[in-house]
Chain A
């Protein structure tokens, strides 16, 4: 573990000495909770409609696919008209597009960012690499199955997929959302132990709390 995360002795201003355990004192340790849908179906439907019509993508390009997503916002493809836009912070984003191959180092950041998004949240795997490793199938440092680590709602195959197929993927996601089937966040909470196990298996220097609030 990094030295800054190890417990340390600190002297307070009154001379009293005490221990600070960063992981305990600076991070929330609560596990993720399963959040049920709204009590009234009609309200949940309204929410699902809104969620489907307002998809905010986290601006985090994890691999080479990131550069392929730019055209989506150009006049030619104009994803805005589907209510899709980018947000710079995971707190405000709903959709995490894993854009291409995912190295272990990046996976750690992806997990952090994913966990900082709010329920409901969606993951789209973009390109072959997220599905089975693609051309990095024999790499020492690239994961092969994204759904081992995060709940994935939609995969978009291709290397790279064209913007049209991306749009298609997003439409598919919208459909799932509207049908109330995009419950990845709750799945993640429910199968938290399994996901963590998988994540920790590849991330050897796990230096963060189990769940990054």
Chain B
């Protein structure tokens, strides 16, 4: 795999598909949640309206250079992650830029956006931003651990770090998925997944009433729009990693849509059932439940 210019339009196409899919899917999920509560819920195109409106706001303020760059970092993280991971297995078109790096790149690039965002939010000088970042970082350090362990277990399992090869090893029937061949690793990873999705019970970071929306308190207009774009792209990019590692990847767009939706729904289902944890509670929860599973996974791998 090397770089060719044709990959740029392919990558743009991937972004376009994933962005639209994400906008619709999150709206759909909100709608499902509303229907559970006997509400009509938002219109399916609500996310488009929100996005356009935020891009369309006429005024904006800036607290400084990092404030300006925070959302850029954030979205770069999302887009980059999406592009560094092959989206559709077996498709040259949608392998995107995965030649640049392997699983480890994906794993560490997750932090790129987080870091930039945290820097940007912190420059606003708002104490609630800082509190939100504290909470987010504290929580994510522990939540990422089971994932790292699971990824390590999977890499050991398949003796490779290349995502494409891991997906290839899972082809030929769903019983070949890591989900079935290495359930412990998947269990650990999925618990980590819950922690990284910013949904209940792990959403104290945003705590809208207590620390108005946490890190992005000061963000608005097009900054917020960039972050909303990322909010759509980034979880899907992450899910693509999960899908590729644990659920056999996707060989076509329909399969991709279904799998992403289902994996996303896991966090939603957990979220609507459980109340919110405080940060130290969620850290302890990960330490007591998720980490041991992860350790078991690597010890037994």
Give the chain A neighbours of B52 by CB distance below 8 A: 46-47, 49-50, 54
Q: Does B138 contact A (CB under 8 A)?
A: no
Q: Which of B187-195, B215-223, B256-264 forms part of the interface with chain A?
A: B215-223
Residue of B nearest to A87 (CB): B213
Chain A positions 60 through 90: 1 when the CB is less than 8 Å from some CB of chain B, otherwise 0:
0000000000000001001011010001110
Residue of B nearest to A28 (CB): B61
Q: Check A78/B39 contact, CB under 8 A, given A50-B49, A120-B58.
A: yes
Query: Do the beta carbons of B220 and A81 come within 8 Å of each other?
Result: no
Among candidates A33, A83, A91, A119, residue contacting B43 with C-beta atoms closer than 8 Å: A83
Residue of B nearest to A37 (CB): B58
Give the chain B neighbours of A46 by CB distance below 8 A: 52, 56
Cα separation A75 to B41 with both chains bound (whole Å): 9
Q: Does A190 contact B (CB under 8 A)?
A: no
Give the chain B neighbours of A38 by CB distance below 8 A: 56
Query: Do the beta carbons of B49 and A83 come within 8 Å of each other?
Result: yes
Q: Does A199 contact B (CB under 8 A)?
A: no
Cα separation A93 to B179 with both chains bound (whole Å): 43
Query: Do the beta carbons of B57 and A88 come within 8 Å of each other?
Result: no
Give the chain A neighbours of B50 by CB distance below 8 A: 50, 54, 83
- Count of chain B residues with Cβ under 8 Å from any Cβ of A? 32
Q: Does A213 contact B (CB under 8 A)?
A: yes
Query: Do the beta carbons of B49 and A213 come within 8 Å of each other?
Result: no
Query: Do the beta carbons of A91 and B53 come within 8 Å of each other?
Result: no
Among candidates B40, B209, B220, residue contacting A91 with C-beta atoms closer than 8 Å: B220
Query: Do the beta carbons of A50 and B53 come within 8 Å of each other?
Result: yes
Q: Check A120/B46 contact, CB under 8 A, given A89-B213, A89-B217, A91-B219.
A: no
Cα separation A91 to B208 with both chains bound (whole Å): 13
Query: Do the beta carbons of A54 and B46 come within 8 Å of each other?
Result: yes
Give the chain B neighbours of A87 by CB distance below 8 A: 213
Cα separation A164 to B205 with both chains bound (whole Å): 35
Query: Do the beta carbons of A81 and B53 come within 8 Å of each other?
Result: no
Chain B positions 215 through 249: 1 when the CB is less than 8 Å from some CB of chain A, otherwise 0:
01111110010000000000000000000000000
Q: Which of B89-132 contact A (CB under 8 A)?
A: none
Q: Does A196 contact B (CB under 8 A)?
A: no
Query: Do the beta carbons of B41 and A81 come within 8 Å of each other?
Result: yes
Q: Which of A130-150 contact B (CB under 8 A)?
A: none
Report A130 CB to chain B, min CB distance, Å: 24
Q: Which of B38-96 contact A (CB under 8 A)?
A: 38-43, 46, 48-53, 56-61
- Count chain A CB atoms within 10 A of each CB in B49, B52, B57, B218 and give the residue with the most: B57
Q: Does A35 contact B (CB under 8 A)?
A: yes
Give the chain A neighbours of B40 by CB distance below 8 A: 78, 80-81
Cα separation A87 to B206 with both chains bound (whole Å): 12
Report B23 CB to chain A, min CB distance, Å: 13
Q: Which of A73-113 contact B (CB under 8 A)?
A: 75, 78, 80-81, 83, 87-89, 91-92, 94
Q: Does B269 contact A (CB under 8 A)?
A: no
Report A173 CB to chain B, min CB distance, Å: 14
Residue of A nearest to B212 (CB): A88
Give the chain B neighbours of A94 by CB distance below 8 A: 53
Give the chain A neighbours of B213 by CB distance below 8 A: 87-89, 92
Query: Do the beta carbons of A91 and B34 come within 8 Å of each other?
Result: no
Contacts A33-B59, A118-B57 known; list 12 others, CB within 8 Å. A35-B59, A37-B58, A38-B56, A46-B56, A47-B56, A50-B53, A53-B46, A78-B34, A83-B46, A83-B49, A94-B53, A118-B58
Can you give 28 A-B contacts (C-beta < 8 A)?
A38-B56, A46-B52, A47-B52, A49-B49, A50-B49, A50-B50, A50-B56, A53-B49, A54-B49, A54-B50, A54-B52, A78-B34, A78-B41, A80-B34, A81-B42, A83-B42, A83-B43, A83-B46, A83-B50, A87-B213, A88-B208, A88-B212, A91-B219, A91-B220, A92-B216, A92-B220, A118-B60, A118-B220
For the complex of A and B, 9 pairs with smallest distance between CB atoms: A47-B56, A88-B212, A50-B52, A35-B58, A91-B220, A53-B49, A119-B59, A50-B53, A81-B40
